Amino acid sequence: LVAEIEKKITEAFEVFDRESNKTVDVREIGCIVRSLGCFPNEAEVQELLAQIEVEEQEGFIHLKNFLPVMTKVLLDKRFRPIPEDVILHAFEALDENKCGYITKEDLVKHLTEK
Amino acid sequence: IRAAILIQKWYRFTMARLEMRRRYSLSIFQSIEYADEQDQLQVCNLPFFLYKHLCYPQDFSQIFTSPSAPQVVDEDLCLKEFEKKIDVPDSYYGPRLSFPLTVEDANALLHAFRNEQLLHARYVLQLLSETRRVLKEMPNITHLSTSYSKEITVCAASLNAPFFFFLQNGLPSEQNRYVFNGDFVDRGKNSMEILIILFAFLLIYPNDLHLNRGNHEDYIMNLRYGFTKEVSKKYKDHWKQILCLLRDVFSWLPLATIIDSKVLILHGGISDTTDLDFLNALERNKVRDHIHVRIILFSFKNFAILDILWSDPRSQNGCTPNKCRGGGCYFGPDVTAKLFERYNLKMLIRSHEFKPEGYEISHDGKVITIFSASNYYEEGSNRGAYIKLNPELIPRFVQYQVSKFTRRQNLRERVGTIESSALKSLREKIYAHKSELTSAFAQYDVNGTGRISVNDWAAAMESVLQLDLPWRMLRSQLAQMNPDGEVDFMSCFYDLKMGQPIKEAQPALAETLCRYRKDLEIIFNIIDKDHSGLISLEEFSQTWRLFTSHLGIDVQDDSIDKLVLSIDYNKDGHIDFNEFLEAFHVVHRLEKKTT
């Protein structure tokens, strides 16, 4: 099972590996983690990165550092997806005027408050 | 705030999935394109005599019908000869060029092409002949200086709409110079018109418009990638003369341009043996096409040109042969640094590689890749870009995307379009390798259940197709899985069938024909000297046998004979090979009708 998970992770990683040298830009890690089916929020992505990032390769993450961390994430089933009704509630909570949508500005405002 | 974070999470998730789909779709397109380029080496491996016979049967004396016509070298004579021999009827309403060309001629051409008119063959031939004359005078490496120009525009030439481009960016002039960095043809259906415009402008503004040769300015590439077909369709009576002359013109295109002795512009890249002085001195017109170099010229000095036209930069140090392309090399930052130090250069601008954003900067800012054809693979697949260099040699990038539909589609729809197009190409490849895949699957399926694990399926796919794609991610689109998590491997082939069922064809034979359809098309076109679309049964069988024996394919002798006889509908000893090959075009059974 572990081998299969590792292969899956490697595949996803390689799609973002522009030069086929087993490294990706650190900004793509969030994308990769999510395309493997996980639902982390931004803070959680940063935490994950803290566990991985190596000093010398500024701005790049090597597969060999990413693989063990990500494998554990998948084995532990962390960052599970949110059920639909919870998301719906979240939308309703922010949709003060009950118009059925929220604007980008509203969302930004809520995210940057406090 | 918690709600907002939840929404953000979900949104990022969705965007990430879209991005992944977009990336692997582009990856599919690119892998298949490069694999096709590599397949071309099959043509390369044909026996020497066959190659020579096929590729160089004509020479210039065939331009004029009289057998005693001398080899025409004098271009002035050429212009007049074309005028005498080729009549332009009164019914022709397209542009009538008069040499030397003027701005009026240029405008007439732009106007005509915008209205989808064709330039008459006589003018095309005259234009090409004049272009050759002008190009012959040019050195292999052109040197420019920015002293008079406001900006120099560098593009990769494969423009979607050069007509609009010049309107938007201005006609060439001393203050507004242009460098077109190769690959003018084989991109889209209007390669001929693009060439005509570029050459016409070259003649009118010889100091302000410069062209570098690209790897597609090559006879063999043109056969494969569609330019030859385009010309033969548009110019039914004169296409051969045009292509013959064009082959010569291509070989006279300069190899590189250097601006202010600091910025080197060329199509592909460099290698650790690149020597600019050497490049400047060699006889560039001897390099007709890349196969010619490899087989006939077969000397290392001419490989230098292959390096210039075919190499790609990589982030790892060193210089290794370019396996992906079959020509040129991969060059690392150290190679670039060394070359820069030797010749006191500051920047290398090159093209040759597809980039989703139209451009990319690598090797620590020293190398810029510029790709000017937007929507290259599919509507919405990528942007195009070009560079404007100011006198301080600082580049400014202009990105664009030409499209009728892109605005109407949102991001999700666009990715969907690209994805289904990419998957379609991939499925065709899968079908074309059906037997090999089936036996690879069978090796994993020890108990003969028809199902194997995802891992095994992915391994089998990669070992046969060798496209280096994320198979696990693609699996859901390609094959069905049962509730136990096993892949029903034969389901890859459902919904795919050949255009026309040919009863006499065994499956293995049909599949081989399917896979090598493009290569065969090239070869048949070469054999068919009078372009009638017909070749004799004997020629067909002979060629087929040679071809398969060289590929090491095991095909029973009599099966091809039976097949060929069944195709000769009117039993006159000739077959229409276009019809024949068309039959081996893969069709998708559930394909929705395109609106």
What number is the ipTM of this complex?
A: 0.80
CB count within 10 Å of CB B564 equals 17
Surface-to-core class of residue B371, CB atoms within 10 Å of its CB (0-12 exposed, 13-18 middle, 19+ buried): buried
In angstroms, the first-to-last Cα distance of chain B is 46
Residue range(s) in chain A whose domain bears CATH number 1.10.238.10: 1-76
Q: How far is B30 from chain A (nearest CA, A)?
A: 12
Q: Are strands B486-488 and B480-481 parallel, antiparallel or unpaired?
A: antiparallel
Rounded CA-CA distance B552/B573 in Å is 28
Nearest to B19 among A31, A33, A81 (CB): A31
**Higher-pLDDT residue of B590, B403:** B403
Q: Is B334 a residue whose pLDDT tops 50?
A: yes
Taken as a whole, chain B contains a residue count of 595
Nearest to B1 among A34, A102, A110 (CB): A110
Please give the structure tokens belonging to residue B241: 């003369």
CATH number for the domain whose boundaries are A1-76: 1.10.238.10
Is residue B267 among the annotated active site residues? no
Radius of gyration of chain B (CA): 26
Name every chain B residue with its beta carbon within 8 A of the beta carbon of A30. Answer: 12, 16
Q: What is the identity of the amino acid at B49?
A: F
Name every chain B residue with its beta carbon within 8 A of the beta carbon of A89. Answer: 3
Please give the structure tokens belonging to residue B484: 């136990």
Q: Would you report the helix, strand and coil content of chain A in percent, each value rounded to 5?
A: 60, 5, 35
Radius of gyration of chain A (CA): 17
Tokens 């896979």 map to which residue? Answer: B515
Do the Cβ atoms of A35 and B458 come within 8 Å? no
> What pLDDT score does B504 carry?
53
Least confident of B249-258, B287-296, B380-389, B427-436: B287-296
Q: How far is B375 from chain A (nearest CA, A)?
A: 20
Q: How confident is the model at residue B590 (pLDDT cuts 50, 70, 90)?
A: very low
Q: Which of A1, A19, A112 to mutate to test the interface with B (most CBs of B within 10 A)?
A: A19
Do the Cβ atoms of A94 and B4 come within 8 Å? yes
Q: How far is B380 from chain A (nearest CA, A)?
A: 19
Rounded CA-CA distance B390/B302 in Å is 34
Q: Which of B7, B24, B419 to mutate to test the interface with A (most CBs of A within 10 A)?
A: B7
Question: Which one of B216, B238, B267, B292 is the catalytic residue?
Answer: B216
Q: What is the identity of the amino acid at B410?
A: N
What's the whole-number mean pLDDT along residues B410-438? 82
> What pLDDT score does B58 carry?
42
Rounded CA-CA distance B183/B181 in Å is 7
Do the Cβ atoms of B5 and A41 come within 8 Å? yes
Please give the structure tokens belonging to residue B430: 């899968």
Q: Which of B2, B10, B324, B362 to mutate to test the interface with A (most CBs of A within 10 A)?
A: B10
> What pLDDT score does B69 carry?
31
Do the Cβ atoms of B3 and A34 come within 8 Å? no
Read off the pLDDT of residues B218-248 as tens digits, 9 standing for 90 and up: 877 777 777 888 888 888 888 878 888 888 8
Q: Would you report the helix, strand and coil content of chain B in percent, each value rounded to 5?
A: 50, 15, 40
CA nearest to B178, candidates B8, B365, B29, B387: B387
Nearest to A8 among B17, B27, B472 (CB): B472
Read off the pLDDT of residues B168-213 as tens digits, 9 standing for 90 and up: 788 888 888 889 998 888 777 788 988 998 999 999 999 889 999 9
Nearest to A87 among B6, B23, B24 (CB): B6
Domains of chain B and any CATH numbers: 1-59+410-498 (1.10.238.10), 94-400 (3.60.21.10), 507-592 (1.10.238.10)
